[in-house]
Chain A
């Protein structure tokens, strides 16, 4: 019997396809209501820190260097009060085999796929994760398909995504490129069904747990060098996995480091819009992913996402596109390092945040990524100009995503703007209640308090505000 392959029929088979392709029975951890046993899922389906370190070391992933950015620190201190201006560091994750921290997530997923006997892996990503899965699949001798959202309806591709396609193909993967739209997930499901391959989702417990080694390493490296943990770690936030994994790793090390999320401000640009697709200069690490995936992680490609940024984020800031470009250039010109784009979002934030911190404090940008044709400030700005985006020097406050890119006329204008986390937390609570269409139980309320890093009173108040609407 042939199955119907129209959009609605395929989406209706989603649960069944997912279960087969991830090998996790999520129902075991469900309460039947909003609550979900997150920690038990992470424990029973993930790997221990020691196991992950062993897996990752065997495929040359992790143990990346920490680099102190002395000149950028000196530059930041020019704009800080006397005695202020924390020392800025980066963890050079570009040293991983595929050129980004995503190798950590991919190493675990591919290891797991191979252990379960899958012949190949499929992943839906336009980002570095595709290259990471392709790289790990190459080492493991598994087949690999990467599904990308790449082009607008005129066939114009984001240069950064085109480069990632090249890298995936160079590493032996099959790349399926699509035009703009959330139905990428539809094609992804069809491919899983057709091939019977493993779903190397970014959001499985093993994928997220793979990043725990990153947080853990930071703590160990700082204790060895400075006899203390860093005071703050800044994480570029998109789908939430980088932040969740890093924070969990820091906690496993016993570190009380502050975890700060940072995203590029793309407010006002609709992510599924064909016309807007090529008017943005960032393909990830922006608010278009960071905000929705924080307030509702389960929008991902697995039934229950293991990435839960609001559980771990103490502060969430945004930076402008122009500020990130400025910092990328400053990193090359003052530190002799061409990196990015992704890690440079948190670098721009760290540059501003360091100025609020004391001189003897340590702030870490926990990733860098490889740079190359297409994924570099020059083609990014060139592409922006070609798409009618105005590029000029001025105050980043005047930047309007999709219309212009304002390069700060001096570094003093680079600011990290706080996002109201309580608002996002209330949004998560509202979405949970609307999704499950239920009156929350005591267990649900406790769960929502954990989900939002708040107490039960906060959750109850948020719920009462909802019912009074």
Chain B
């Protein structure tokens, strides 16, 4: 159970595929226009329930409850060996070839 007043992430489709703008490409027209938004939960609810939230600007939005206290998970990705190769290469071109012996 997620308590009323908790900061949560919700999701809702705002345009179904048949309601989409005429100019969108075919692959996009097959899928709905979706929205994700965060706010304070108005009533106690379970993940997956349709709920109402109050956003940071005080607006009300409804949608399916996805996550309580949502966190950021983006990062620096995996190590990319190619980037280090570039680093080695530019240093070698500019400063390389000066050995003591």
Residues of chain A having any CB pair with chain B under 8 Å: 6-7, 71, 74-75, 78, 120, 143-145, 150-151, 153, 155, 157, 159, 162-163, 166, 169, 172-183, 186-187, 194-195, 270, 272-275, 325-326, 329-330, 332-334, 373-374, 376-383, 385, 391-393, 407, 410-411
Q: A75-B90, A382-B78 are in contact. Are A183 and B72 (CB under 8 A)?
A: no
Contact check: which of A75, A373, A392 meets B94 at CB < 8 Å?
Answer: A75
Nearest opposing residue in chain A for B89, CB measure: A410
Q: Could you name 26 residue pairs across A and B whose Cβ atoms are closer than 8 Å?
A: A7-B19, A150-B36, A159-B74, A174-B55, A175-B37, A178-B34, A179-B33, A181-B33, A182-B24, A183-B20, A187-B33, A195-B57, A270-B25, A273-B27, A273-B28, A325-B83, A330-B87, A330-B90, A333-B86, A377-B80, A378-B83, A379-B74, A379-B75, A381-B82, A391-B82, A410-B89
Determine the chain A residues whose CB is within 8 A of the CB of B86 once the complex forms.
Answer: 326, 329-330, 333, 407
Contact check: which of B75, B85, B87 meets A373 at CB < 8 Å?
Answer: B75
A318 to B42, CA, bound (A): 50
Contact flags B64-101 to A (C-beta < 8 A → 1, else 0): 00000000101111111011011101110110000000
Determine the chain A residues whose CB is within 8 A of the CB of B57 once the complex forms.
Answer: 120, 143-145, 174, 195
* Most chain B C-beta atoms within 10 Å of own C-beta, residue among A163, A195, A272, A385: A272
Determine the chain B residues whose CB is within 8 A of the CB of A378 once the complex forms.
Answer: 76-80, 83
Determine the chain A residues whose CB is within 8 A of the CB of B85 once the complex forms.
Answer: 393
A374 touches B75 (CB 8 A): yes
Chain B 6-41 residues near chain A, CB threshold 8 A: 14-15, 19-21, 23-25, 27-28, 30-38
Determine the chain B residues whose CB is within 8 A of the CB of A373 once the complex forms.
Answer: 74-76
Q: How many A-B residue pairs have CB under 8 A?
A: 155
A75 to B14, CA, bound (A): 51
Determine the chain A residues whose CB is within 8 A of the CB of B25 once the complex forms.
Answer: 270, 272-274
Nearest opposing residue in chain A for B74, CB measure: A374
A410 to B80, CA, bound (A): 18
Residues of chain B having any CB pair with chain A under 8 Å: 14-15, 19-21, 23-25, 27-28, 30-38, 55-59, 72, 74-80, 82-83, 85-87, 89-91, 93-94
B93 touches A411 (CB 8 A): yes
Determine the chain A residues whose CB is within 8 A of the CB of B24 once the complex forms.
Answer: 181-183, 272
B83 touches A381 (CB 8 A): yes
A181 touches B21 (CB 8 A): yes
A172 to B56, CA, bound (A): 8
Contact check: which of B14, B59, B72 meets A187 at CB < 8 Å?
Answer: B14
Min CB–CB distance A366 → chain B (angstroms): 23
B87 touches A329 (CB 8 A): yes
B72 touches A162 (CB 8 A): yes
Determine the chain B residues whose CB is within 8 A of the CB of A179 once the complex forms.
Answer: 31-35
A145 to B76, CA, bound (A): 27
Min CB–CB distance A468 → chain B (angstroms): 29
Determine the chain B residues whose CB is within 8 A of the CB of A381 once the complex forms.
Answer: 77, 80, 82-83
Q: Known pairs A174-B57, A181-B28, A376-B77; list 7 more (Cβ under 8 Å).
A: A176-B35, A178-B34, A178-B36, A179-B34, A378-B83, A380-B77, A383-B77
Interchain residue pairs A-B with the least CB separation, the first 8? A382-B77, A379-B77, A153-B31, A374-B74, A174-B56, A333-B87, A179-B34, A329-B86
